[in-house]
Structure 1
Amino acid sequence: MQVTQVPQPSPTPPTAPGAAFAPDSLVLNRKLPLWYQVSQSLRASILGRTADATLRLPTEEQLAAHYGVSVLTMRQALKELETEGLISRHRRRGTFIEPRARRVSPVRLMGSIDAIVAQQSGERTTLLEHGPSPVPGDVAEYFPGCPEVIGYRRLRCEEETGEPTNWAQNWVHPEAAAGIDPADLERWPMTKVLRDRAGVPIARITDTVEARLADPATAGLLRVPLLSPILYYTGVAYDESGRVVDVAQIRYRGDRFSFSVTVETH
Protein backbone atom coordinates (compact mmCIF):
# COMPACT_ATOMS: atom_id res chain seq x y z
CA MET A 1 0.00 0.00 0.00
CA GLN A 2 1.38 3.36 -1.01
CA VAL A 3 1.11 6.11 1.54
CA THR A 4 1.14 9.68 0.34
CA GLN A 5 2.50 12.23 2.77
CA VAL A 6 0.84 15.59 2.59
CA PRO A 7 3.27 18.42 3.40
CA GLN A 8 2.25 20.54 6.33
CA PRO A 9 1.69 24.22 5.57
CA SER A 10 3.92 26.84 7.11
CA PRO A 11 2.47 28.69 10.10
CA THR A 12 0.25 31.52 8.98
CA PRO A 13 1.75 34.87 9.90
CA PRO A 14 -0.25 37.16 12.15
CA THR A 15 -2.78 39.35 10.39
CA ALA A 16 -3.85 41.57 13.25
CA PRO A 17 -2.87 45.22 12.81
CA GLY A 18 -0.18 46.66 15.02
CA ALA A 19 3.15 48.43 15.06
CA ALA A 20 5.55 47.15 12.41
CA PHE A 21 9.16 46.21 13.12
CA ALA A 22 11.37 49.31 13.23
CA PRO A 23 14.76 48.75 11.51
CA ASP A 24 17.88 50.71 12.35
CA SER A 25 18.88 53.74 10.32
CA LEU A 26 21.53 53.58 7.60
CA VAL A 27 24.00 56.05 6.11
CA LEU A 28 24.33 55.04 2.45
CA ASN A 29 27.68 54.71 0.70
CA ARG A 30 27.18 55.62 -2.96
CA LYS A 31 30.23 53.56 -3.96
CA LEU A 32 28.47 50.28 -3.07
CA PRO A 33 25.24 48.78 -4.46
CA LEU A 34 22.32 50.34 -2.61
CA TRP A 35 20.29 47.14 -2.49
CA TYR A 36 23.20 45.33 -0.85
CA GLN A 37 23.68 47.99 1.83
CA VAL A 38 19.96 48.07 2.58
CA SER A 39 19.70 44.27 2.75
CA GLN A 40 22.67 44.06 5.12
CA SER A 41 21.36 46.85 7.36
CA LEU A 42 17.90 45.29 7.55
CA ARG A 43 19.48 41.87 8.09
CA ALA A 44 21.43 43.22 11.06
CA SER A 45 18.28 44.76 12.51
CA ILE A 46 16.36 41.49 12.11
CA LEU A 47 19.07 39.28 13.58
CA GLY A 48 19.74 41.71 16.44
CA ARG A 49 16.09 42.26 17.36
CA THR A 50 14.78 41.76 20.88
CA ALA A 51 12.79 38.64 21.73
CA ASP A 52 9.53 40.57 22.02
CA ALA A 53 9.89 42.50 18.75
CA THR A 54 6.99 42.29 16.30
CA LEU A 55 7.51 40.05 13.27
CA ARG A 56 5.67 42.20 10.75
CA LEU A 57 7.84 44.44 8.57
CA PRO A 58 6.72 47.81 7.21
CA THR A 59 5.53 47.93 3.61
CA GLU A 60 7.99 48.18 0.71
CA GLU A 61 7.09 51.84 0.32
CA GLN A 62 7.63 52.57 4.01
CA LEU A 63 10.96 50.76 4.05
CA ALA A 64 12.08 52.54 0.88
CA ALA A 65 11.28 55.90 2.48
CA HIS A 66 13.07 54.86 5.69
CA TYR A 67 16.28 54.03 3.84
CA GLY A 68 15.99 56.77 1.22
CA VAL A 69 16.00 54.42 -1.79
CA SER A 70 13.60 53.54 -4.57
CA VAL A 71 10.91 50.88 -4.16
CA LEU A 72 12.71 48.84 -6.84
CA THR A 73 15.92 48.89 -4.79
CA MET A 74 14.00 47.97 -1.65
CA ARG A 75 12.32 45.10 -3.46
CA GLN A 76 15.72 43.72 -4.53
CA ALA A 77 17.00 43.97 -0.94
CA LEU A 78 13.94 42.12 0.39
CA LYS A 79 14.37 39.42 -2.25
CA GLU A 80 17.89 38.81 -0.96
CA LEU A 81 16.61 38.34 2.61
CA GLU A 82 13.75 36.13 1.40
CA THR A 83 16.24 33.92 -0.47
CA GLU A 84 18.28 33.60 2.72
CA GLY A 85 15.15 32.56 4.63
CA LEU A 86 15.06 35.48 7.04
CA ILE A 87 11.71 36.82 5.85
CA SER A 88 8.57 35.51 4.15
CA ARG A 89 6.28 37.54 1.91
CA HIS A 90 2.53 36.96 1.74
CA ARG A 91 0.25 38.63 -0.76
CA ARG A 92 -2.30 40.98 0.83
CA ARG A 93 -0.93 40.18 4.31
CA GLY A 94 2.55 41.64 4.19
CA THR A 95 6.15 40.69 4.89
CA PHE A 96 7.14 38.91 8.08
CA ILE A 97 10.35 37.96 9.86
CA GLU A 98 10.86 34.19 10.05
CA PRO A 99 11.39 33.56 13.78
CA ARG A 100 12.96 30.11 13.31
CA ALA A 101 15.04 30.80 10.24
CA ARG A 102 18.50 29.27 10.37
CA ARG A 103 20.99 31.83 9.22
CA VAL A 104 23.41 31.10 6.40
CA SER A 105 26.89 31.94 7.61
CA PRO A 106 29.38 33.09 5.02
CA VAL A 107 32.14 35.42 6.16
CA ARG A 108 31.56 38.22 3.65
CA LEU A 109 33.86 41.14 2.90
CA MET A 110 32.39 43.96 0.84
CA GLY A 111 33.58 47.23 2.31
CA SER A 112 30.48 48.30 4.24
CA ILE A 113 30.45 48.91 7.99
CA ASP A 114 26.82 47.82 8.06
CA ALA A 115 27.83 44.59 6.32
CA ILE A 116 30.28 43.95 9.17
CA VAL A 117 27.52 44.64 11.70
CA ALA A 118 25.20 42.25 9.88
CA GLN A 119 27.88 39.56 9.75
CA GLN A 120 28.22 39.62 13.52
CA SER A 121 24.54 39.91 14.43
CA GLY A 122 21.81 37.43 15.21
CA GLU A 123 23.43 34.95 17.57
CA ARG A 124 23.19 34.60 21.32
CA THR A 125 26.24 36.34 22.74
CA THR A 126 27.76 35.87 26.18
CA LEU A 127 30.31 38.34 27.51
CA LEU A 128 32.88 36.07 29.15
CA GLU A 129 35.20 38.74 30.53
CA HIS A 130 36.29 42.33 30.08
CA GLY A 131 38.73 44.76 31.63
CA PRO A 132 42.02 46.62 31.18
CA SER A 133 45.01 44.71 29.87
CA PRO A 134 48.58 45.46 28.76
CA VAL A 135 48.66 45.78 24.99
CA PRO A 136 49.19 42.25 23.57
CA GLY A 137 52.24 41.90 21.36
CA ASP A 138 50.29 40.84 18.26
CA VAL A 139 48.28 44.10 18.25
CA ALA A 140 50.91 46.48 19.65
CA GLU A 141 51.52 48.05 16.23
CA TYR A 142 47.94 49.38 16.25
CA PHE A 143 48.21 51.14 19.61
CA PRO A 144 51.49 53.11 19.58
CA GLY A 145 52.13 54.97 22.82
CA CYS A 146 49.15 53.34 24.51
CA PRO A 147 50.20 51.47 27.69
CA GLU A 148 46.99 49.43 27.96
CA VAL A 149 43.76 48.60 26.15
CA ILE A 150 40.38 47.32 27.27
CA GLY A 151 39.82 43.69 26.37
CA TYR A 152 36.44 42.04 25.73
CA ARG A 153 36.00 38.30 25.21
CA ARG A 154 32.65 37.02 23.94
CA LEU A 155 31.21 33.67 22.88
CA ARG A 156 28.49 33.46 20.23
CA CYS A 157 26.09 30.52 20.01
CA GLU A 158 23.13 29.56 17.85
CA GLU A 159 19.93 30.92 19.33
CA GLU A 160 17.96 27.69 19.08
CA THR A 161 20.52 24.96 19.77
CA GLY A 162 23.00 26.81 21.96
CA GLU A 163 25.83 25.38 19.85
CA PRO A 164 28.90 27.67 19.84
CA THR A 165 29.77 29.09 16.44
CA ASN A 166 32.56 31.62 17.07
CA TRP A 167 34.28 33.55 19.78
CA ALA A 168 35.61 37.09 19.63
CA GLN A 169 38.41 38.95 21.36
CA ASN A 170 38.28 42.74 21.02
CA TRP A 171 41.04 45.12 22.03
CA VAL A 172 39.60 48.62 22.34
CA HIS A 173 41.35 51.96 22.84
CA PRO A 174 40.59 53.18 26.41
CA GLU A 175 39.06 56.46 25.20
CA ALA A 176 36.66 54.59 22.93
CA ALA A 177 35.89 52.00 25.60
CA ALA A 178 34.84 54.69 28.07
CA GLY A 179 31.48 54.95 26.31
CA ILE A 180 30.77 51.20 26.18
CA ASP A 181 28.10 49.61 28.36
CA PRO A 182 29.19 45.95 28.67
CA ALA A 183 25.54 44.86 28.69
CA ASP A 184 25.18 46.16 25.12
CA LEU A 185 27.80 43.67 23.94
CA GLU A 186 25.45 40.78 24.70
CA ARG A 187 22.92 42.28 22.30
CA TRP A 188 24.91 43.99 19.55
CA PRO A 189 28.28 43.58 17.77
CA MET A 190 31.19 45.74 18.94
CA THR A 191 31.12 47.81 15.74
CA LYS A 192 27.51 48.83 16.34
CA VAL A 193 28.10 49.51 20.04
CA LEU A 194 31.09 51.73 19.30
CA ARG A 195 29.39 53.64 16.49
CA ASP A 196 25.78 53.89 17.62
CA ARG A 197 25.96 53.65 21.42
CA ALA A 198 29.38 55.06 22.34
CA GLY A 199 29.36 57.67 19.57
CA VAL A 200 32.73 56.71 18.09
CA PRO A 201 32.92 57.91 14.44
CA ILE A 202 34.19 54.78 12.69
CA ALA A 203 35.53 55.75 9.27
CA ARG A 204 36.82 52.42 7.96
CA ILE A 205 37.56 48.81 8.88
CA THR A 206 40.38 46.73 7.44
CA ASP A 207 39.56 43.00 7.31
CA THR A 208 41.76 39.94 7.05
CA VAL A 209 40.60 36.32 6.99
CA GLU A 210 42.99 33.38 7.12
CA ALA A 211 42.89 29.65 7.77
CA ARG A 212 44.25 28.45 11.11
CA LEU A 213 44.11 25.45 13.41
CA ALA A 214 42.16 25.50 16.65
CA ASP A 215 44.35 26.19 19.68
CA PRO A 216 43.36 24.78 23.10
CA ALA A 217 41.31 27.85 24.07
CA THR A 218 39.41 27.86 20.77
CA ALA A 219 38.85 24.10 20.81
CA GLY A 220 37.39 24.34 24.29
CA LEU A 221 35.12 27.30 23.62
CA LEU A 222 33.84 26.12 20.24
CA ARG A 223 33.69 22.41 21.21
CA VAL A 224 35.79 21.29 18.27
CA PRO A 225 38.81 18.96 18.16
CA LEU A 226 42.20 20.47 18.91
CA LEU A 227 43.98 21.53 15.69
CA SER A 228 40.77 21.34 13.64
CA PRO A 229 40.45 24.01 10.91
CA ILE A 230 38.97 27.40 11.79
CA LEU A 231 38.57 30.76 10.03
CA TYR A 232 40.48 33.50 11.80
CA TYR A 233 39.17 37.02 11.19
CA THR A 234 40.95 40.23 12.12
CA GLY A 235 39.11 43.54 11.83
CA VAL A 236 40.91 46.82 12.53
CA ALA A 237 38.55 49.78 13.01
CA TYR A 238 39.75 53.36 12.52
CA ASP A 239 38.07 56.59 13.56
CA GLU A 240 37.91 59.72 11.41
CA SER A 241 41.34 60.88 12.61
CA GLY A 242 42.94 57.62 11.48
CA ARG A 243 43.42 56.31 15.02
CA VAL A 244 42.74 52.62 15.67
CA VAL A 245 39.84 52.29 18.11
CA ASP A 246 39.27 48.53 17.99
CA VAL A 247 41.04 45.37 16.89
CA ALA A 248 38.69 42.39 16.65
CA GLN A 249 40.02 38.84 16.51
CA ILE A 250 37.25 36.33 15.77
CA ARG A 251 37.62 32.54 15.52
CA TYR A 252 34.90 30.89 13.41
CA ARG A 253 34.22 27.17 13.33
CA GLY A 254 35.54 25.85 10.04
CA ASP A 255 32.62 23.44 9.62
CA ARG A 256 30.01 26.17 9.95
CA PHE A 257 31.40 29.10 7.95
CA SER A 258 32.73 29.78 4.48
CA PHE A 259 34.70 32.72 3.12
CA SER A 260 33.08 34.96 0.51
CA VAL A 261 34.31 38.12 -1.21
CA THR A 262 32.23 40.21 -3.63
CA VAL A 263 34.05 42.34 -6.21
CA GLU A 264 32.14 45.06 -8.04
CA THR A 265 33.38 45.64 -11.62
CA HIS A 266 31.65 48.98 -12.14
Structure 2
Amino acid sequence: MRPVEPTRPEVAYQRQRQSPDRLNNSPRRTYDLLRSTLVTSGGRPLLVEHELTDALSASRNTVRAVLQQLAREGLVTREPKNGTRAIGALVLPIDELTPVEARLLERRPLGCPPLVRDRLNLPVGWTVLLTEAVLLQDGLPLGISVNYVALGEEQSLDIDEPDVIHILEKKLGLRIGGSRTTIGAVAADEQTAELVGVEFGAPLVWLEDVIEDDSGQPRALSQLRLRGDRVAFSANAYRTA
Protein backbone atom coordinates (compact mmCIF):
# COMPACT_ATOMS: atom_id res chain seq x y z
CA MET A 1 0.00 0.00 0.00
CA ARG A 2 1.45 3.34 -1.07
CA PRO A 3 1.86 5.95 1.70
CA VAL A 4 -0.53 8.85 1.53
CA GLU A 5 1.26 12.00 0.48
CA PRO A 6 0.54 15.11 2.57
CA THR A 7 -1.78 17.64 0.98
CA ARG A 8 -0.03 20.73 -0.24
CA PRO A 9 -1.06 23.88 1.69
CA GLU A 10 -2.46 25.62 -1.38
CA VAL A 11 -4.65 22.58 -2.20
CA ALA A 12 -5.94 22.41 1.39
CA TYR A 13 -6.72 26.13 1.23
CA GLN A 14 -8.85 25.71 -1.88
CA ARG A 15 -10.69 22.69 -0.41
CA GLN A 16 -11.53 24.58 2.77
CA ARG A 17 -12.90 27.55 0.91
CA GLN A 18 -16.67 27.83 0.77
CA SER A 19 -18.38 28.84 -2.42
CA PRO A 20 -18.84 32.51 -1.53
CA ASP A 21 -21.64 34.83 -2.51
CA ARG A 22 -18.97 37.45 -2.96
CA LEU A 23 -16.06 37.24 -5.38
CA ASN A 24 -13.35 38.27 -2.90
CA ASN A 25 -14.57 36.44 0.19
CA SER A 26 -11.21 35.71 1.81
CA PRO A 27 -10.70 36.92 5.42
CA ARG A 28 -6.99 37.48 4.78
CA ARG A 29 -7.50 39.48 1.59
CA THR A 30 -10.43 41.37 3.12
CA TYR A 31 -8.36 42.25 6.19
CA ASP A 32 -5.40 43.49 4.13
CA LEU A 33 -7.58 45.52 1.78
CA LEU A 34 -9.61 47.17 4.53
CA ARG A 35 -6.64 47.77 6.84
CA SER A 36 -4.58 49.43 4.13
CA THR A 37 -7.53 51.60 3.11
CA LEU A 38 -8.13 52.75 6.69
CA VAL A 39 -4.46 53.54 7.22
CA THR A 40 -3.88 55.45 3.99
CA SER A 41 -7.20 57.28 3.69
CA GLY A 42 -6.78 59.37 6.86
CA GLY A 43 -9.67 60.49 9.08
CA ARG A 44 -11.79 58.29 11.31
CA PRO A 45 -14.72 57.12 9.19
CA LEU A 46 -17.78 55.24 10.40
CA LEU A 47 -17.64 51.65 9.13
CA VAL A 48 -21.01 50.11 8.22
CA GLU A 49 -21.02 46.35 7.72
CA HIS A 50 -23.54 46.13 4.89
CA GLU A 51 -21.72 48.90 3.00
CA LEU A 52 -18.39 47.13 3.46
CA THR A 53 -19.75 43.85 2.05
CA ASP A 54 -20.31 45.62 -1.27
CA ALA A 55 -17.16 47.70 -1.12
CA LEU A 56 -14.97 44.66 -0.40
CA SER A 57 -16.97 42.04 -2.32
CA ALA A 58 -16.99 39.88 0.82
CA SER A 59 -19.70 38.24 2.89
CA ARG A 60 -21.10 39.90 5.98
CA ASN A 61 -19.64 37.17 8.21
CA THR A 62 -16.20 37.77 6.72
CA VAL A 63 -16.49 41.54 7.17
CA ARG A 64 -17.67 41.13 10.76
CA ALA A 65 -14.76 38.81 11.58
CA VAL A 66 -12.28 41.25 10.03
CA LEU A 67 -13.73 44.19 12.00
CA GLN A 68 -13.46 42.15 15.19
CA GLN A 69 -9.80 41.43 14.43
CA LEU A 70 -9.12 45.11 13.72
CA ALA A 71 -10.80 45.98 17.03
CA ARG A 72 -8.58 43.51 18.90
CA GLU A 73 -5.55 45.17 17.32
CA GLY A 74 -6.74 48.65 18.31
CA LEU A 75 -7.27 49.94 14.76
CA VAL A 76 -11.03 50.40 15.14
CA THR A 77 -13.46 50.93 18.02
CA ARG A 78 -16.77 49.06 18.20
CA GLU A 79 -19.40 50.53 20.55
CA PRO A 80 -23.13 49.81 20.95
CA LYS A 81 -25.26 52.46 19.21
CA ASN A 82 -22.12 54.27 18.01
CA GLY A 83 -21.04 51.66 15.48
CA THR A 84 -17.49 50.93 14.34
CA ARG A 85 -14.99 53.71 13.72
CA ALA A 86 -11.41 53.72 12.54
CA ILE A 87 -8.81 54.94 15.04
CA GLY A 88 -6.31 56.01 12.41
CA ALA A 89 -2.56 55.48 12.15
CA LEU A 90 0.44 57.68 11.48
CA VAL A 91 1.66 57.24 7.90
CA LEU A 92 5.39 57.92 7.69
CA PRO A 93 6.77 58.55 4.21
CA ILE A 94 9.77 56.24 4.05
CA ASP A 95 11.31 58.34 1.27
CA GLU A 96 11.25 61.48 3.45
CA LEU A 97 12.89 62.33 6.77
CA THR A 98 10.12 63.81 8.89
CA PRO A 99 10.35 64.92 12.55
CA VAL A 100 7.83 63.36 14.93
CA GLU A 101 6.76 64.15 18.48
CA ALA A 102 9.11 62.56 21.00
CA ARG A 103 9.74 62.39 24.76
CA LEU A 104 13.38 62.07 25.81
CA LEU A 105 14.25 59.04 27.95
CA GLU A 106 18.04 59.16 28.02
CA ARG A 107 20.91 61.20 26.67
CA ARG A 108 24.61 60.55 27.16
CA PRO A 109 27.99 60.88 25.40
CA LEU A 110 29.45 57.54 24.29
CA GLY A 111 32.92 58.52 23.16
CA CYS A 112 33.39 56.72 19.87
CA PRO A 113 32.37 53.02 20.02
CA PRO A 114 34.19 51.16 17.21
CA LEU A 115 31.05 49.61 15.74
CA VAL A 116 29.25 52.96 15.52
CA ARG A 117 32.43 54.63 14.24
CA ASP A 118 32.65 52.09 11.43
CA ARG A 119 28.93 52.27 10.57
CA LEU A 120 29.15 56.08 10.29
CA ASN A 121 32.67 56.19 8.82
CA LEU A 122 33.67 58.81 11.38
CA PRO A 123 36.88 60.84 11.10
CA VAL A 124 39.50 60.67 13.88
CA GLY A 125 38.55 62.80 16.87
CA TRP A 126 34.79 62.64 16.39
CA THR A 127 32.50 61.41 19.19
CA VAL A 128 28.98 60.03 19.47
CA LEU A 129 25.96 61.27 21.42
CA LEU A 130 23.30 58.68 22.36
CA THR A 131 19.67 59.77 22.66
CA GLU A 132 16.71 57.51 23.36
CA ALA A 133 13.08 58.67 23.19
CA VAL A 134 9.48 57.51 23.12
CA LEU A 135 7.78 58.53 19.86
CA LEU A 136 4.23 59.86 20.30
CA GLN A 137 1.12 60.81 18.36
CA ASP A 138 -1.60 62.72 20.21
CA GLY A 139 0.04 61.60 23.44
CA LEU A 140 -0.10 57.89 22.52
CA PRO A 141 3.17 55.94 22.19
CA LEU A 142 4.14 54.90 18.66
CA GLY A 143 7.49 53.33 19.47
CA ILE A 144 11.05 53.81 20.69
CA SER A 145 13.81 55.71 18.91
CA VAL A 146 17.54 55.23 19.67
CA ASN A 147 19.93 57.60 17.90
CA TYR A 148 23.71 57.64 17.68
CA VAL A 149 24.56 61.17 16.56
CA ALA A 150 28.06 61.98 15.27
CA LEU A 151 29.67 65.12 16.70
CA GLY A 152 32.72 66.84 15.23
CA GLU A 153 35.58 67.97 17.45
CA GLU A 154 34.13 71.46 17.87
CA GLN A 155 30.47 70.48 18.30
CA SER A 156 28.69 70.68 21.66
CA LEU A 157 27.30 67.78 23.67
CA ASP A 158 24.78 70.11 25.36
CA ILE A 159 21.76 68.79 23.43
CA ASP A 160 18.42 67.99 25.04
CA GLU A 161 16.37 67.67 21.82
CA PRO A 162 14.85 64.15 21.48
CA ASP A 163 14.25 64.10 17.71
CA VAL A 164 17.26 63.21 15.55
CA ILE A 165 16.15 65.42 12.62
CA HIS A 166 15.86 68.45 14.90
CA ILE A 167 19.24 67.65 16.45
CA LEU A 168 20.97 67.56 13.07
CA GLU A 169 19.20 70.56 11.57
CA LYS A 170 18.53 72.90 14.49
CA LYS A 171 21.20 72.03 17.05
CA LEU A 172 24.10 71.17 14.74
CA GLY A 173 23.08 73.41 11.84
CA LEU A 174 23.47 70.68 9.22
CA ARG A 175 21.74 70.22 5.90
CA ILE A 176 20.56 66.64 5.53
CA GLY A 177 21.35 65.05 2.21
CA GLY A 178 19.56 61.70 2.50
CA SER A 179 19.46 58.37 4.29
CA ARG A 180 19.80 54.63 3.80
CA THR A 181 16.88 52.71 5.30
CA THR A 182 16.47 49.08 6.39
CA ILE A 183 13.17 47.62 7.66
CA GLY A 184 12.52 44.36 9.48
CA ALA A 185 10.52 42.96 12.39
CA VAL A 186 11.38 42.15 16.01
CA ALA A 187 9.56 40.92 19.12
CA ALA A 188 8.96 43.38 21.96
CA ASP A 189 11.23 42.89 24.97
CA GLU A 190 9.84 43.59 28.44
CA GLN A 191 11.14 47.17 28.63
CA THR A 192 9.88 48.16 25.19
CA ALA A 193 6.52 46.46 25.78
CA GLU A 194 5.98 48.51 28.94
CA LEU A 195 7.04 51.79 27.32
CA VAL A 196 4.87 51.52 24.20
CA GLY A 197 1.92 49.62 25.70
CA VAL A 198 2.05 46.23 23.98
CA GLU A 199 2.35 42.67 25.27
CA PHE A 200 5.75 41.08 25.80
CA GLY A 201 6.74 39.33 22.57
CA ALA A 202 4.35 41.34 20.39
CA PRO A 203 5.67 41.97 16.87
CA LEU A 204 7.14 45.40 16.21
CA VAL A 205 8.39 47.05 13.05
CA TRP A 206 12.15 47.61 13.23
CA LEU A 207 13.55 50.45 11.13
CA GLU A 208 17.10 51.74 10.80
CA ASP A 209 18.21 54.96 9.09
CA VAL A 210 21.80 55.95 8.37
CA ILE A 211 21.37 59.70 7.88
CA GLU A 212 23.92 61.68 5.85
CA ASP A 213 24.63 65.39 5.54
CA ASP A 214 24.67 67.12 2.15
CA SER A 215 28.35 66.24 1.67
CA GLY A 216 27.59 62.51 2.01
CA GLN A 217 29.10 62.14 5.50
CA PRO A 218 26.95 59.85 7.71
CA ARG A 219 25.88 61.89 10.75
CA ALA A 220 23.45 59.65 12.63
CA LEU A 221 22.50 56.01 13.05
CA SER A 222 18.82 55.96 14.02
CA GLN A 223 17.08 52.73 15.12
CA LEU A 224 13.34 52.59 15.76
CA ARG A 225 10.98 49.97 17.18
CA LEU A 226 7.44 50.89 16.15
CA ARG A 227 3.93 49.61 16.87
CA GLY A 228 2.54 48.13 13.66
CA ASP A 229 -1.04 48.97 14.72
CA ARG A 230 -0.26 52.70 14.94
CA VAL A 231 2.38 53.25 12.27
CA ALA A 232 2.43 52.59 8.53
CA PHE A 233 4.94 53.53 5.86
CA SER A 234 4.58 54.93 2.38
CA ALA A 235 7.05 55.35 -0.46
CA ASN A 236 7.10 56.09 -4.16
CA ALA A 237 8.90 53.67 -6.44
CA TYR A 238 9.79 54.05 -10.11
CA ARG A 239 10.73 51.42 -12.66
CA THR A 240 13.78 52.42 -14.67
CA ALA A 241 13.99 51.71 -18.38
Aligned counterpart, 2:141: 164
Q: CA RMSD in A?
A: 3.3
Higher RCO (Cα < 8 Å, 6 or more apart) = 2
The residue identity in structure 1 corresponding to 2:97 is I
How much has 1:167 moved relative to structure 2?
A: 1.3
Is 1:216 aligned to 2:190, yes or no? yes
Distance in 2 of aligned mates of 1:176 and 1:151:
16
How much has 1:248 moved relative to structure 2?
A: 0.7
The residue identity in structure 2 corresponding to 1:105 is L
The residue identity in structure 2 corresponding to 1:116 is L
* Greater Rg by CA: 2
Is 1:109 aligned to 2:83, yes or no? no
Maintained 8 Å contact 1:206/1:236: yes
Matches within 5 A, 1:56-71: none
The residue identity in structure 2 corresponding to 1:169 is V
Distance in 1 of aligned mates of 2:154 and 2:147:
11
Match for residue 246 of structure 1 among 220, 224, 231: 220
The Cα offsets for residues 100-142 of structure 1, whole Å up to 9 and x where unpaired, read as xx763234322xxxx321xx42x3x211111111555663422
The number of aligned residues is: 158
Distance in 2 of aligned mates of 1:249 and 1:169:
5
Name the SS for the 2:195 alignment partner: helix
Maintained 8 Å contact 2:144/2:196: yes
| Gap runs ≥5 in structure 2 | 1-40, 44-86
**Structure with the higher strand share, 1 or 2:** 2
Residues 1:146 and 1:247: Cα distance change in structure 2 (over 3 Å): farther
Aligned counterpart, 1:154: 133
Aligned counterpart, 2:232: 258
How much has 1:168 moved relative to structure 2?
A: 0.6
| Gap runs ≥5 in structure 1 | 1-82, 86-101
Aligned counterpart, 1:202: 176
Identical residues among aligned pairs (%): 25
How much has 1:191 moved relative to structure 2?
A: 1.4
